[in-house]
Amino acid sequence: MGRQVAQRIGAQIVSLDSMKIYRGMDIGTAKPDATTRGEVVHHLIDICEPHEPYSVADYLTDAAEAGARIEAAGDLPLFVGGTAMYLKALLEGLVEAPAADLAYRETLVQQARDEGIQALHARLEQVDAPSAGRIHPNDQRRVIRALEYHHATGRPISAVRTQWAGPPKRAAILVGLRWPRSILLERIDRRVERMFAMGLADEVQQIQSQGGFGRESSQAIGYKEVLSAGSPEAAMESIQRRTRQFAKRQMTWFRRFSAIHWIDVAAQTDLEHAVDEAVAVLASQ
């Protein structure tokens, strides 16, 4: 749909997907094919290797450069994708985080091994009760991140969350597609089946043989499950389940953006009408 809208409004597409940035991760991220990318210019796809680190701050820099190139060409930037954190950062800016203290992080990791993650969560409750209430006691990565932030700054990371509040830093028109839940779940299951039919397992093995995955890319839905599951059937079931969970979290995230114009679609044929409605919304503001 992004291609059709871009062609109608004279836009170039900027990917808003945290995993499409990685080369070789094509099937699992459902990247647009060569034909689609030939019809409309796409940016921020295939810009780094899976083993390379890439942050939200990196994305903001690259997106600004892409937007400048697009505007210099006389076109509009059309951001397409579902990474809510990227969208939030684009609209509201990014709070600068302290540099990672790897030695302190390792101390926390060791403490989790020795005493259990619950001990770290209890410690977080003492210095940042709001974060402790929001973060599950077994979510080691987020518990440690919150403790690291407090250690580095002397402030609770929950205070940073309030800095997201306020009017958007950039003007934008937001359009989203909304499927009935039963149809959405069916589409998820069929998509995962197609991924395996197209060779997802082979794609994972090829990446492994060419440098492997980094911290960020290894969390991508599909790739993580293929790497850890004992069989293709188990991997497929795990991917379907995790994708359903991710879709639910996405909608929770996007409900925070009150300005989104939602277009309800109930069938594949509705997409033509969705394109018309999206174009009308973009042209009217």
Nearest partner of 46 among 20, 65, 70, judged by Cα: 20
- 3 against 142, higher pLDDT: 3
123: pLDDT confidence band, cut at 50, 70 and 90?
A: very high
Assign domain 2-93+169-284 one CATH number from 3.40.47.10, 3.90.650.10, 2.140.10.10, 3.40.50.300: 3.40.50.300
pLDDT of residue 206: 96
Nearest partner of 43 among 30, 31, 28, judged by Cα: 31
Equal fold, 2-93+169-284 vs 102-164: no
- 254 against 141, higher pLDDT: 254
pLDDT at 168 over 70: no
- Over the chain, what is the mean pLDDT? 89
Q: How many whole angstroms separate alpha carbon 247 and alpha carbon 239?
A: 12
Show the tokens assigned to 224: 């993580």
Q: Above pLDDT 70, what percent of the chain? A: 93
3-state secondary structure of 78: strand
Show the tokens assigned to 19: 């995993």
Q: Above pLDDT 90, what percent of the chain? A: 65
Residue range 166-173: average pLDDT?
62
pLDDT of residue 169: 52
CB atoms within 10 A of CB 78: 22
Digit-coded pLDDT (tens) for 179-218: 999 999 999 999 999 999 999 999 999 999 999 999 889 9
Taking the model in full, what pTM does it have?
0.75
Which CATH architecture group holds 102-164? Answer: Orthogonal Bundle (1.10)
21: pLDDT confidence band, cut at 50, 70 and 90?
A: very high
- 118: Cα within 13 Å, side-chain hemisphere: 0
- 109: Cα within 13 Å, side-chain hemisphere: 7
For residue 48, what is the DSSP state? B
3-state secondary structure of 277: helix
Angle at 278 between CA 273 and CA 280, to 5 degrees: 95
Nearest partner of 23 among 4, 50, 60, judged by Cα: 50
Domains of the chain: which residue ranges? 2-93+169-284, 102-164
CB atoms within 10 A of CB 131: 24
Digit-coded pLDDT (tens) for 216-260: 899 999 999 998 887 889 999 999 999 999 999 998 889 888 889
Q: How many whole angstroms separate alpha carbon 213 and alpha carbon 104?
A: 24
Q: How many helices and strands (H and E) does the chain possess?
A: 14, 5
pLDDT of residue 167: 44
